[in-house]
Amino acid sequence: MTKTPRRPVNALHAAEALFKPAKKVAAAPPVARPALPNVKEQVTLKLDSDVLVYFQEDGPGWQDRINDVLRAAMRNDR
């Protein structure tokens, strides 16, 4: 009866034993952030240039006007 050595005798086997794939730890699910009322969040949004010009024509507050239109669309969708 032959016994296999506890340590690899072959250098190639020893190297392969060192680089065995690591067991992946299951990632924790992402923590859901609660939505805070009346808090605005900065985002990047791509708009057609004519849409942007339309809202910017009336001067400052164009971002608030876009937000109002999006909110109205959100309410009408429900």
**Number of domain units in the chain:** 1
Residue 59 in domain: yes
Residue 7 in domain: no
pLDDT in tens, the chain (78 residues): 567 667 667 888 878 777 767 777 777 787 777 777 788 888 899 999 999 999 999 999 999 999 999 999 999 987
Smallest Cα–Cα separation from 4: which of 12, 13, 27?
Answer: 13
Domain that holds residue 55: 41-78
Residue 8 is predicted with a pLDDT of 62
Residue 78 in domain: yes
Residue 45 in domain: yes
